[in-house]
Amino acid sequence: MAFEIRKIGIVGSGQMGSGIAQVSALAGFDVIMNDLSEDRIHGAIAKIDGNLNRLVERDALSAADKATAIARIKPAPTFNDLADADLVIEAATENEEVKRAILAEVCLPLKAETIIATNTSSISITRLASTTNRASRFIGIHFMNPVPRMQLVELIRGIATEDETFTAARAYIEKLHKTVTVSEDFPAFIVNRILLPMINEAIYTLYEGVGTVDAIDTAMRLGANHPMGPLQLADFIGLDTCLSIMQVLHEGLADSKYRPCPLLVKYVEAGWLGRKAQRGFYDYRSGAPIPTR
């Protein structure tokens, strides 16, 4: 009989973790959330509650379904509290050392059959799996940001991932009514292998003075019919995340075309990380985004 996922554990209650919790609860899964502090977890649940309230106001969700979904999400302050999860998804910051430390520890109290997944957007699944005690039950489940709105999920098998693990993970994604695309375990997978070099090239275009922030974003919105310009998108993703992915591509593929733009490095060193820091390629502190170059 195929392994069935019913209860989801999530490590990390930030933008990605809370988004995964929201869509999982709406799809009927029980969700338990872990983070460094209970305050962070309760803050994430409050944010999800607010998101669901907005869906109710727009008649996209009934009040009864909203109440049922939010009741499915519970705090899990320690890794031991994740012990009865069928699937645990690591959704921490895009930093390999942080992820490896979490994965080495979180697997210890779990049931033998529990699947562990990482939401990494670029790091080797095989390498991360090696830090756990169950490489055969480890898989990459890469949700796009923002999770509730984006339709695609990349599934990435490590070298040791068993068929049963892949099948169960795919069934979980399909119950969320999202579309699966399967990627091989190469740096940045499919979406970010294509998207991030484009963003990096847009930053080089700014760095070399070819165009201003506004000119570059307007050109790509209207000239390529993109919903947002590449610099605006970089701010939304987080410039630190963009830099991390470019570094993974540069180191993993050893090709100079993936060299992170020095201007991207400078912005990250300044702490101008985009929307979450109120400054990046745009300054958000006044409420209306103002280009910084």
Least Cα distance to 268 among 283, 280, 250 occurs for: 280
The Cα–Cα gap between 64 and 175 comes to 20
Catalytic residue among 121, 122, 124, 200: 121
Catalytic residue among 34, 119, 122, 142: 142
Establish whether 121 is a catalytic residue.
yes
* C-alpha atoms less than 13 angstroms from C-alpha of 203 in its C-beta half-sphere: 29
Catalytic residue among 24, 119, 154, 183: 154
Establish whether 154 is a catalytic residue.
yes
Establish whether 286 is a catalytic residue.
no
The Cα–Cα gap between 155 and 174 comes to 12
SS3 content of the chain, % helix, strand, coil (to 5): 50, 15, 35
Token pair listed for 243: 């830099």
Q: Let me know if 83 is exposed, middle or buried by CB neighbors in 10 A (0-12, 13-18, 19+).
A: middle
Establish whether 226 is a catalytic residue.
no
Catalytic residue among 18, 122, 183, 192: 192
The Cα–Cα gap between 149 and 137 comes to 28
Other Cβ atoms closer than 10 A to 149: 9
Alpha helix stretches (DSSP H) within 107-255: 125-129, 163-175, 191-207, 213-223, 230-237, 239-253
CB 44 within 8 A of CB 38: no
Catalytic sites, residue numbers: 121, 142, 154, 192
